[in-house]
């Protein structure tokens, strides 16, 4: 079988490069530098000192504590003293050290520990392989991790080893596509098969590459061999919305609601506060032959930003009509709603996240109809909207139904005691500015508790309204606010400033010599500020300067 990502990657060309960790190299230099006393020299000073196994295991804590303090030299010294125990060592005498190195990660100390284990002829267990591969792959030593994966496969080619391959895939990023391909090749050569988590890790790589065809391939193969859990389906929804396929994400959401109402697939929370399905994730046995999954390229639509509709209709049970509008099938009846209202809180949380993913994806498409539909369905299912839910909904209805309707939504939200996000207030301010309701625009702008650089659009929109309504005094207040919060102006900001202050402001100023001198001073101040911020004039800013009233 041609592997999923390589197949789709031919349609979306991506380069792969090995990752060399500068931090790890620096650690290596510090440990093995000529100025540092070597472990062998220190050991000779303690030739008469020997260890017993009963003391070796507690000493693992000393090694880990030294690593946490950054004292690698001390950690190496303690580890080297393990040579002098009279009793035979076992893999348990190194497991705590390797576990820490896997979490850190610290690939260099893992290799140092493995060297000692090899000298002592200590065998490897699956847990040791897990720690080693996690430390190496997360620390940027992918080739070494692949080597240990191959050794693991030769020693124990069972489906229980698939989770260790998933650990490696989890560490792969945008630049590690070739490493992921090599991992899949080992997996297939050993006929181990893929688990649901394997498909989720491959999906993550597809999103990092912006590779929508690969996401289709992964969904098709995963749903062929599994009935994906609601956790897995939510990951596909998030991936498809990130890749711009709103239609497919909505269809999976329909399946997800039906599954949550019919299945007893409850969730558990891991030690890292992540939701996981309670059922076993057993890999499907690999087959000798797979159907080649060839999908039509969608790159033309992606490049032009067109909305993808029915790009892969065979992935879903429902057939939809082509076009830019989604056909809404009522997914909530009384029985489904009643079942989900009494569902565990973890199930409701996953469903709420999935609805929020699709709802926020409606914003760039200005799909107000779908946003309203999703918001209504959430209420029927007993999924209480959050600030994040309202954020996506309000941003969509501003474009679809206008700022007046958005005001009704924000009022209803606040009556429920839900505080709006700063992004929500910024969107409302911008909407009022575009409607030339400058008092309300300024009011919402003042309500933003944490102003960030991305909110510059709301400031510019208000300045634009000031220019249209000829309100330079309000513009001065906005500029003072920007300076107070250290908001860096953009080119659009300066274009608006030239429009506002590059002319004699009637009736605030008389058209005499002094007024024109003041205009000249203001222009010089604005241009100096542009220069200090490294911004050059644009055609619009020069045009605004040329339009100023000549005095002579």
Q: For position 16, what pLDDT does the model report?
A: 34
Q: Tell whether the model's pLDDT for residue 15 goes beyond 80.
A: no
The answer to which of 103-117, 124-138, 210-224, 502-516 has the lowest mean pLDDT is 502-516
Q: For position 34, what pLDDT does the model report?
A: 38
Count the Cβ atoms, other than its own, within 10 Å of residue 358.
23
DSSP state of 267: E
Residue 448 lies in a domain: yes
CA distance 210 to 194: 22
**Would you say 156 and 188 are in contact if contact means Cβ atoms under 8 Å apart?**
no
Q: For position 243, what pLDDT does the model report?
A: 95
Q: Tell whether the model's pLDDT for residue 239 goes beyond 90.
A: yes
C-alpha distance from residue 271 to each of 241, 276, 285, 405, 420 (Å): 28, 11, 29, 43, 31
pLDDT-derived band of residue 185, with 50, 70 and 90 as boundaries? confident
Reported as a single tens digit per residue, the pLDDT across 200-232 is: 999 999 998 899 999 999 999 998 888 888 899
Residue 337 lies in a domain: no
Q: For position 51, what pLDDT does the model report?
A: 41
Q: Average pLDDT for residues 447-463, to the nearest whole number?
A: 94
Residue 495 or 517, more confident: 495
Query: Measured at the alpha carbon of residue 542, what is the angle toward residues 538 and 543, in degrees to the nearest 5?
Result: 115
Residue 69 lies in a domain: no
Residue 516 lies in a domain: yes
Q: Average pLDDT for residues 474-484, to the nearest whole number?
A: 92
Q: Average pLDDT for residues 239-252, to the nearest whole number?
A: 94
CA distance 448 to 171: 38
Q: For position 455, what pLDDT does the model report?
A: 95
Q: For position 515, what pLDDT does the model report?
A: 56
Q: For position 332, what pLDDT does the model report?
A: 59
pLDDT-derived band of residue 41, with 50, 70 and 90 as boundaries? very low
Q: Average pLDDT for residues 44-58, to the nearest whole number?
A: 47
Q: Tell whether the model's pLDDT for residue 191 goes beyond 50.
A: yes
Q: Average pLDDT for residues 102-106, to the nearest whole number?
A: 92
Q: For position 334, what pLDDT does the model report?
A: 66
Residue 500 lies in a domain: yes
Residue 502 lies in a domain: yes
Q: For position 192, what pLDDT does the model report?
A: 81
Query: Measured at the alpha carbon of residue 108, what is the angle toward residues 102 and 109, in degrees to the nearest 5?
Result: 65
Reported as a single tens digit per residue, the pLDDT across 501-517 is: 866 554 444 444 445 56
pLDDT-derived band of residue 28, with 50, 70 and 90 as boundaries? very low
Question: Which residues are registered as beta bridge partners of 491?
Answer: none
Residue 236 lies in a domain: no
Residue 181 lies in a domain: no
Q: How many domains does the chain have?
A: 1
Q: For position 131, what pLDDT does the model report?
A: 94
Q: What is the CATH number of the domain that holds 508?
A: 1.25.40
For residue 185 the two structure tokens come to 């090749």
Q: Which residue range is the domain that position 476 belongs to?
A: 385-390+409-546
CA distance 482 to 495: 16
**Would you say 4 and 293 are in contact if contact means Cβ atoms under 8 Å apart?**
yes
CA distance 144 to 133: 8
The answer to which of 277-286, 454-463, 532-541 has the lowest mean pLDDT is 277-286
- The separation between the first and the last C-alpha atoms of the chain, rounded to the nearest angstrom, is 80
Helical residues (DSSP H) of 210-342, grouped into ranges? 212-225, 230-242, 246-262, 299-304, 334-341
Q: For position 343, what pLDDT does the model report?
A: 77
Count the Cβ atoms, other than its own, within 10 Å of residue 5.
24
The answer to which of 83-87, 94-98, 229-233, 250-254 has the lowest mean pLDDT is 83-87
Q: For position 375, what pLDDT does the model report?
A: 95
Q: Which residues are CB-neighbours of 67 under 8 A, at least 6 positions away?
A: 75, 100, 101, 104, 106, 109
Q: Tell whether the model's pLDDT for residue 309 goes beyond 80.
A: no
pLDDT-derived band of residue 318, with 50, 70 and 90 as boundaries? very low
Global pTM reads 0.75
What is the rounded average pLDDT for all residues in the chain?
77
pLDDT-derived band of residue 44, with 50, 70 and 90 as boundaries? very low
């Amino acid at each position: 079988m041609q592997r999923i990502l390589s197949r789709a990657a031919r349609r979306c060309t991506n380069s792969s490069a090995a990752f060399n960790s500068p931090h790890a190299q620096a650690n290596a230099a510090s440990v093995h530098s000529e100025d540092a006393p070597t472990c062998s020299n220190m050991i000779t000073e303690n030739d008469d000192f020997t260890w017993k196994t009963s003391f070796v295991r507690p000493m693992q804590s000393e090694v880990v504590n030294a690593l946490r303090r950054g004292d690698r030299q001390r950690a190496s010294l303690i580890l080297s003293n393990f040579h002098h125990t009279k009793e035979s060592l076992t893999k348990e005498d190194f497991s705590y050290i390797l576990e820490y190195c896997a979490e850190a990660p610290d690939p260099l100390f893992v290799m140092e520990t493995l060297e000692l284990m090899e000298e002592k002829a200590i065998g490897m267990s699956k847990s040791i392989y897990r720690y080693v591969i996690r430390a190496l792959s997360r620390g940027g030593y992918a080739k070494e991790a692949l080597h240990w994966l191959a050794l693991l496969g030769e020693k124990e080619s069972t489906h229980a080893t698939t989770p260790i391959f998933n650990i490696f895939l989890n560490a792969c990023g945008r630049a590690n596509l070739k490493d992921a391909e090599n991992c899949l090749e080992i997996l297939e050569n050993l006929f181990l098969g893929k688990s649901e988590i394997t498909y989720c890790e491959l999906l993550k790589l597809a999103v990092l590459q912006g590779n929508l065809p690969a996401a289709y391939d992964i969904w098709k193969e995963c749903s062929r061999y599994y009935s994906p859990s609601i956790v897995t389906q939510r990951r596909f929804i998030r991936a498809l919305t990130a890749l711009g396929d709103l239609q497919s994400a909505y269809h999976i959401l329909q399946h997800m609601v039906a599954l949550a109402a019919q299945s007893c697939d409850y969730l558990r929370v891991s030690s890292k506060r992540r939701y996981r399905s309670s059922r076993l994730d057993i890999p499907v046995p690999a087959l000798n032959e797979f159907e080649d999954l060839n999908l039509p390229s969608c790159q033309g639509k992606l490049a032009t930003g067109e909305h993808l509709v029915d790009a892969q209709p065979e992935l879903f049970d429902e057939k939809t009509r082509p076009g830019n509008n989604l056909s809404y099938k009522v997914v909530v009846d009384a029985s489904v709603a009643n079942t989900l209202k009494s569902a565990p809180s973890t199930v409701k949380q996953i469903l709420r996240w999935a609805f929020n993913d699709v709802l926020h994806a409606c914003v760039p498409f200005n799909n107000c109809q779908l946003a309203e539909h999703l918001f209504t369905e959430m209420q029927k299912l007993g999924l209480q909207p959050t600030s994040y839910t309202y954020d996506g909904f309000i941003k969509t209805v501003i474009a679809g139904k206008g700022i007046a309707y958005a005001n009704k939504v924000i009022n209803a939200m606040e009556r429920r005691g839900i505080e709006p996000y700063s992004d929500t207030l910024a969107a409302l301010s911008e909407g009022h500015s575009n409607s030339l309701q400058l008092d309300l625009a300024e009011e919402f702008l003042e309500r933003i508790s944490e102003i960030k650089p991305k909110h510059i659009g709301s400031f510019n929109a208000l300045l634009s309204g000031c220019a249209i309504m000829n309100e330079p005094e309000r513009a001065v207040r906005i500029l003072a606010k920007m300076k107070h919060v250290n908001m860096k102006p953009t080119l659009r900001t300066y274009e608006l400033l030239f429009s506002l202050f590059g002319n004699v402001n009637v009736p605030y100023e008389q058209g005499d010599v002094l007024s024109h001198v003041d205009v000249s001073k203001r222009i010089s101040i604005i241009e100096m500020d542009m220069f200090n911020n490294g911004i050059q004039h644009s055609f619009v800013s020069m045009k605004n300067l040329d339009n100023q009233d000549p005095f002579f």
